[in-house]
Amino acid sequence: MHDIRFIRENPEDFDAALARRGLEPLAASLIALDEERRAAVTEVQVAQSRRNEASKLIGAAMAKGDREEAEAIKAEVAALKDAMPALEARADALAADLKGRLEIIPNLPGADVPDGAGEEDNRVESEWGTKRTFDFTPREHADIAPALGMDFETGARLSGARFTFLRGGMARLHRALGQFMLDVQTREHGYAECNPPVLVGDDAMYGTDKLPKFAEDSFCTTNGRWLIPTSEVSLTASVMGELLDEAALPMRLTALTLCFRSEAGAAGKDTRGFIRQHQFEKCELVSIVRPEDSEAEHQRMVRAAETILERLNLPYRKLLLCTGDMGFGARKTYDLEVWLPGQGAFREISSCSNTGDFQARRMNTRYRVAGEKKTEFVHTLNGSGLAVGRTLVAVIENYQNADGSVTVPDALLPYMGGVTRLEPLA
RNA sequence: GGAGAGGUGGCAGAGUGGUCGAAUGCGCCGCACUCGAAAUGCGGUUUACCGGCAACGGUAACGUGGGUUCGAAUCCCACCCUCUCCGCCA
């Protein structure tokens, strides 16, 4: 959510930043609407002020026992009261209109974010690892994995497209990945382990900028709760409405949860394999920090995500997303893309975003500056550390053998109960 | 799901139609006393919005949303949440 005062005071900067996102200027129309709103608010307040004053006079008159004077003032206030509902309705309508316009405007890109129209303009920041050379032609996970317990048919039969049933060693490897990620993030990077609800109310979704604009991307229950599209929602919204002590910051939270996405806009995209599912697991990282710390925290978070890939010895590259490819709430985003030898391509496996105070404003999450009276909005960051399903895909493709088996990465051996490779069933 | 009790400031806890944004205590901040500290005393200490260069003035907020009233923390209705008991149950 944007701060109308910032827009009022920096209209050119605001429009220039929107232009970098490919949007038309909006400052002038927003400011005009805000001026109308403020004038209406003032009108209401003047009327209320007069009403309050008169009411006190009535009280005083009654106390004196002067019923006549009290009745006279009552009549005066009655007239005033007739006019008030209309004034209030107008002020409310204008405020709602302004809010409705502000809440669907994406966050402004950071100064160091490269301009661009789409993913082709993202900037490769670094690349890590050595791509394995195969003495056979590496296959895609969707071809190898069914024999190892990744059962697409049963998933589809139970639930439809984009659902998968994992069995045996494949299910175990998937579990091992999640546990491994959670352990590294909690033990080595100081994230506090959480196990949050995966069904949340409107406020949590709104606060993390998934509503109102992206309602169709998530699943909603019949009694009005949302299945979280990412535990960013539950973790970030855990501080919704709070006034935090500065000493509580930075707050680092992680959770391994199921995530649910309707993939409404992705019809026909990645329909094969385990890449894009309606239900998937993700180890999420969330940081709540002071504004002056958010850039450093962002770098730290990306490193925490990179660590997982490095421990698994999976080659990857780090991208700084351009203005045209960033998500709605982000002001700066790094994506990590893992190398998939079967597909011969890098695929997104983590996305780490700094939202600045964008979500904090929507959630009304502030902190009190130590030793001072003033409060400030926190900055919130979120990142995948990592997406478990896609990491499973990456392990399968990078650790595959000519006979169709998959070697378990060393880092996962402690979690595999003695299993060192997944063997084809028949 | 049923019955009862309750939701007030950072915390505890008064207030049950009129100078109540709210007593009191704790905490916190400042000042005094002190070589210093403790103790003590005095003063201060919610948030958001509107107007104003500012000082300051105004409005709103006592779980949320409605209603009654000249006036609501206080009365009425609905909903949410917490606690206790009962039922059911992984």
* Catalytic (active site) residue A51: no
Check pLDDT > 70 for residue A181: yes
* Catalytic (active site) residue A276: yes
The answer on A95 and A242 residing in a single domain is: no
Band the pLDDT of A74: cuts 50, 70, 90: confident
The answer on A404 and A338 residing in a single domain is: yes
The answer on A83 and A204 residing in a single domain is: no
The answer on A256 and A127 residing in a single domain is: yes
The answer on A8 and A149 residing in a single domain is: no
The better pLDDT of the pair A67, A115 is held by A115
The answer on A285 and A385 residing in a single domain is: yes
**Where would I find the H helices in A241-386?**
294-311, 358-363
Query: Rounded to an integer, what distance in angstroms lies between the CA atom of residue A322 and that of residue A320?
Result: 7
Check pLDDT > 90 for residue A279: yes
Query: Rounded to an integer, what distance in angstroms lies between the CA atom of residue A191 and that of residue A183?
Result: 10
Separation between the CA of A223 and the C1’ of B80 (whole angstroms): 14
* Catalytic (active site) residue A390: yes
Query: Rounded to an integer, what distance in angstroms lies between the CA atom of residue A234 and that of residue A197?
Result: 7
Q: How far apart are the first and last CA of chain A?
A: 55
What is the predicted pLDDT for the residue at A235?
94
Least confident of A143-147, A171-175, A181-185, A357-361: A357-361
A131-148 pLDDT, tens digit each = 999 999 999 999 999 999
Tokens encoding A353:
């975003």
The answer on A336 and A213 residing in a single domain is: yes
Q: Which nucleotide is nearest to A371 (CA to C1')?
A: B29
The answer to the question of residue A261 being in a domain is yes
DSSP assignment, residue A79?
H
What residues make up the domain containing A37?
4-102
The answer on A347 and A265 residing in a single domain is: yes
CA dihedral A299, A230, A351, A300 (to 10 degrees): 10
Which single residue is written with the structure tokens 């091992």?
Answer: A176
The answer to the question of residue A252 being in a domain is yes
How do A150-151 and A165-166 pair as beta strands?
A: antiparallel
Mean pLDDT, rounded, for A336-358: 96
Band the pLDDT of A249: cuts 50, 70, 90: confident
Q: Which nucleotide is nearest to A76 (CA to C1')?
A: B70
Helices (H) and strands (E) in chain A, counts: 12, 17
The answer on A274 and A408 residing in a single domain is: yes
Chain centroid to CA A343: how far? Answer: 28
> How much of chain A, in percent, has pLDDT values that exceed 70?
98
Protein-strand B interface by C-beta, 7 A? A 4-5, 38, 41-42, 44-46, 48-49, 51-56, 58-60, 62, 74, 77-78, 81, 243, 366, 368, 371, 373, 375
The answer to the question of residue A393 being in a domain is yes
Check pLDDT > 90 for residue A77: no
What is the predicted pLDDT for the residue at A375?
79
Check pLDDT > 80 for residue A92: yes
Separation between the CA of A132 and the C1’ of B83 (whole angstroms): 61
What is the predicted pLDDT for the residue at A91?
87
Query: Rounded to an integer, what distance in angstroms lies between the CA atom of residue A261 and that of residue A142?
Result: 21
Among A61, A79, A80, residue whose Cα is nearest residue A70: A61
Separation between the CA of A12 and the C1’ of B36 (whole angstroms): 57
**What's chain A's average pLDDT?**
92
The answer on A148 and A80 residing in a single domain is: no
List of residues 6+ apart from A93 with CB closer than 8 A: none
Q: A44: left (phi > 0), else alpha (psi -120 to 50), else beta?
A: alpha
Among A162, A352, A165, residue whose Cα is nearest residue A260: A162
Least confident of A137-146, A153-162, A269-278, A360-369: A360-369
SS3 state at A393 = helix
| Active-site option among A261, A300, A331, A362 | A261
Q: Is the pTM of this model over 0.90?
A: yes
Least confident of A52-66, A80-94, A380-394, A396-410: A52-66
Nucleotides of B under 7 A from a protein CB: 10, 18-19, 29, 47-51, 58-60, 70-71
Helix (H) or strand (E) holding A319: strand A316-320
A201-215 pLDDT, tens digit each = 888 999 999 988 888
The answer to the question of residue A110 being in a domain is no
The number of distinct structural domains making up chain A is 2
> How much of chain A, in percent, has pLDDT values that exceed 90?
69
* Catalytic (active site) residue A261: yes
Separation between the CA of A41 and the C1’ of B49 (whole angstroms): 9
Separation between the CA of A243 and the C1’ of B39 (whole angstroms): 34
Domain closes at, from A102, A128, A152: A102
Q: Which nucleotide is nearest to A41 (CA to C1')?
A: B50
Q: Which nucleotide is nearest to A80 (CA to C1')?
A: B70
Tokens encoding A196:
């949050």
Looking at this protein, which amino acid is placed at residue A395? V
The answer on A187 and A82 residing in a single domain is: no
Band the pLDDT of A266: cuts 50, 70, 90: confident
Check pLDDT > 90 for residue A57: no
Query: Rounded to an integer, what distance in angstroms lies between the CA atom of residue A279 and that of residue A258?
Result: 7
Q: Which nucleotide is nearest to A63 (CA to C1')?
A: B18
Q: Are A190 and A385 in contact (CB under 8 A)?
A: no
Chain centroid to CA A105: how far? Answer: 15
Tokens encoding A244:
């935090």
Check pLDDT > 70 for residue A126: yes
The answer on A125 and A13 residing in a single domain is: no
Query: Rounded to an integer, what distance in angstroms lies between the CA atom of residue A211 and that of residue A15?
Result: 23
The answer to the question of residue A112 being in a domain is no
SS3 state at A235 = helix
Q: A23: left (phi > 0), else alpha (psi -120 to 50), else beta?
A: beta
Mean pLDDT, rounded, for A315-322: 98
What is the predicted pLDDT for the residue at A242?
82
* Catalytic (active site) residue A140: no
The answer to the question of residue A171 being in a domain is yes
